[in-house]
């Protein structure tokens, strides 16, 4: 008996269990629903990193568009976007690495 991760609630369940005891979602025997859950999570992480990149680029645009020194609201908005994008991207990269390691 092997322990696998429930694709819905991410708790550890037996691969032989017909459904997850925690959230009652179906878990078919050959584990294909778990693989689909894994793929969905990969897709979500890719979307997340894309979103973070977009925020970062938006921050760069707000800060440096037009070549004048940013000040006041523009500086604040740009700094927030840059920071969110950068931190979000780093976190997503770490999640992707951990996720890939888990799938082997
Ligand atoms: Zn579950």
pLDDT digits (tens, 9 = 90+) for 6-16: 878 888 888 87
72 and 95 in a single domain? The answer is yes
Is 18 part of any domain?
A: yes
Q: 67: which 2 tokens?
A: 């070549």
Closest CA to 20 of 32, 37, 36, 8: 8
Residues 99 and 48 in one domain: yes
Q: What mean pLDDT comes out for the span 32-45?
A: 82
Number of domains in the chain: 2
Structural domain for 85, as ranges: 43-103
Residues 24 and 56 in one domain: no
Distance from Cα 26 to the centre of ligand 1, integer Å: 8
Q: Residue 85, class by beta-carbon neighbours within 10 Å (0-12 exposed, 13-18 middle, 19+ buried)?
A: buried
Most confident by average pLDDT, 8-12, 25-29, 54-58, 74-78: 54-58
Same domain, 48 and 96: yes
Instruction: Compute, in angstroms, the gap from residue 15 CA to the centroid of ligand 1.
Output: 12
Gap between the Cα atoms of 69 and 36, Å rounded:
48
Task: Answer whether residue 35 shows pLDDT above 80.
Answer: no
pLDDT of residue 103: 58
Same domain, 65 and 92: yes
Say how many Å lie between the CA of residue 27 and the centre of ligand 1: 9
Q: How many CB atoms lie within 10 A of CB 6?
A: 21
């Amino acid at each position: 008996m092997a322990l696998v991760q429930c694709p819905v609630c991410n708790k550890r369940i037996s691969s032989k269990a017909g459904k997850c005891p925690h959230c009652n979602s179906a878990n078919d025997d050959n584990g294909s629903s778990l693989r689909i859950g894994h793929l969905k999570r990969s897709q979500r992480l890719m979307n997340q990193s894309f979103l973070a990149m977009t925020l970062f680029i938006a921050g760069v645009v707000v800060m440096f568009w037009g070549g004048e020194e940013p000040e006041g609201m523009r500086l604040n908005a740009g700094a927030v976007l840059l920071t969110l994008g950068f931190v979000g991207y780093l976190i997503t990269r770490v999640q992707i690495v951990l996720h890939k390691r888990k799938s082997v």
